[in-house]
Structure 1
C-alpha cells in the first residue's frame, strides 16, 4: 500500500507554510480528513491497519481516539476489528471522557489517531483510560510523522516522541518532514506567513 500516493491523490498531502499544533512550522502537512471523507477508502485503510495489529498478536477489546482528528480513524479501526469505540475530547483545554462513555477495569485499548506526530494527544487519552482502570496495549494511526518508532515498519525513535517505550505503535506509513521552530524557520525568513490548516485552534 503506497500511503504517500493515496494522500497525494486525495489532495491530503499539502505543500506550503504551515503552523503545526506544536507551535512549530513545516513546509508539508498531512490533512487526513481529505482521505477519510471517502468512506470506501477509509474502510480499506482501516481494514489494513486492523490486519497489521491482529498479525502482531496484540489483543484488544476497544479503541479510543482523541477528538477531533482521531475520531474517524478510530471508529473505522474499531469497525474493521469488530471492537467497541469511544473518544476523549478537550473541555477547557483538558482532555476528558464524556457522553456517558465508560471504561471497564482491565479493558484493553488501542489508542488510535489519524496521524501521530509526537503522540501528545494520544498519550493524554491513554492516561485517562488508565486512570479509569483500563489497560492501553498499543497505539495506532493511519500515518506516522517519523518521530516515534513503528512496530510494523523499520523506523527510529526521536527524542521528541512522547509515547511510552513499552507500548507498540502501528501505522500504514512513515512520513518524515523537516520541522522548524518559528525563530529558525527558513520559510518565515523568506517572508512567508504560516497558516494553520488542522485541528486545534481552528
Structure 2
C-alpha cells in the first residue's frame, strides 16, 4: 500500500509553512482528516493496518486513541480487529478518560494515532491506561513521521522519539520531513509566516 500516494491523491499531503504542536516549524504537513473523511478509504487503511498487527502476532483487547486526531483511525482499527474502541482527551491540558469509558485490570491495549510524530500524545494516553490498570502491548498509526522506529518498516529511531523501546509501533508508511526550531527556520528567514494546521482549509 502506497500511503504517500494515498495522502497526495486525497489532498492530505500539504506543503506550506506550518506551526506544529511541538512549537517547531515544517514545510510539510499530513492532514489525515482529508483521508479519513472517506469511510471506504478509512476502512481499507484500517484493514491493512490490522493485517500487519495480526501478522506480527500481537494480541489485544481494546484500541485507545488520543483525541481528536486519533479517534477515527482508532475506531476503524478496532472495527477491523473486532475489538472495543475508546479514546482519551485533554482536560485542562492533561489526558483523561471520560464519557463512561473504563479500563479493566490486565486489559491489553493498542494505542492508535492517525500520525505518530515523536509519540508524545500516544505516550500520555499509554501512561494513563497503565495508571488505570491496563497493559500497553503496542502502538499503531496510519503514518509515521520518521522519528520513531516502525516494527514492520525497520526504519531508524531518532533521539526525539518518546515511545518506549520495549513496545512495537506499526504503521502503513514512513514520512521524513525536515523540522525546524523557530529560531532556525529557513521559511521564517524568507519572510514567511507559519500557520497552525487546520486553521484554514488548504
TM-score normalized by the length of structure 2: 0.98
Partner of 2:134: 134
Partner of 1:58: 58
Matching of residue 97 in structure 1 with residue 97 in structure 2: yes
Partner of 2:183: 183
Aligned partner of residue 164 in structure 1, secondary structure: coil
- After TM superposition, the runs of 4+ consecutive aligned structure 1 residues lying more than 3 A away are none
| Offset at residue 169 of structure 1 (A) | 0.1
Matching of residue 116 in structure 1 with residue 121 in structure 2: no
Q: Residues 76, 132 of structure 1: CA spacing in aligned structure 2 closer, same or farther, 3 A cutoff?
A: same
Partner of 1:152: 152
| Offset at residue 96 of structure 1 (A) | 0.3
| Offset at residue 198 of structure 1 (A) | 4.2
Q: How do residues 154-173 of structure 1 correspond to structure 2 at under 5 angstroms?
A: 154-173=154-173
| Offset at residue 117 of structure 1 (A) | 0.1
- Gapped runs of 5+ residues in structure 1? none
Does the 8 A contact of 1:64 with 1:88 survive in 2?
yes
Residues paired across the two proteins, number: 199
Aligned partner of residue 76 in structure 1, secondary structure: helix
Q: How do residues 31-70 of structure 1 correspond to structure 2 at under 5 angstroms?
A: 31-70=31-70
Does the 8 A contact of 1:15 with 1:27 survive in 2?
yes
- Gapped runs of 5+ residues in structure 2? none
Partner of 2:80: 80
Does the 8 A contact of 1:17 with 1:195 survive in 2?
yes
Aligned partner of residue 147 in structure 2, secondary structure: coil
Matching of residue 28 in structure 1 with residue 48 in structure 2: no
Does the 8 A contact of 1:20 with 1:198 survive in 2?
no
| Offset at residue 51 of structure 1 (A) | 0.6
Aligned partner of residue 154 in structure 1, secondary structure: coil
| Offset at residue 197 of structure 1 (A) | 1.1
Aligned partner of residue 98 in structure 1, secondary structure: coil
Q: Please, what is the CA RMSD of the aligned residues?
A: 0.8
Aligned partner of residue 28 in structure 1, secondary structure: strand
Cα deviation per residue 1:149-170 (whole Å; 9 max; x = unaligned)? 0000020000000000000000
TM-score normalized by the length of structure 1: 0.98
Mapped to 1, the partners of 2:55 and 2:15 lie a distance apart of 34
Cα deviation per residue 1:162-199 (whole Å; 9 max; x = unaligned)? 00000000000000000000000000000000001149
Mapped to 1, the partners of 2:187 and 2:44 lie a distance apart of 36
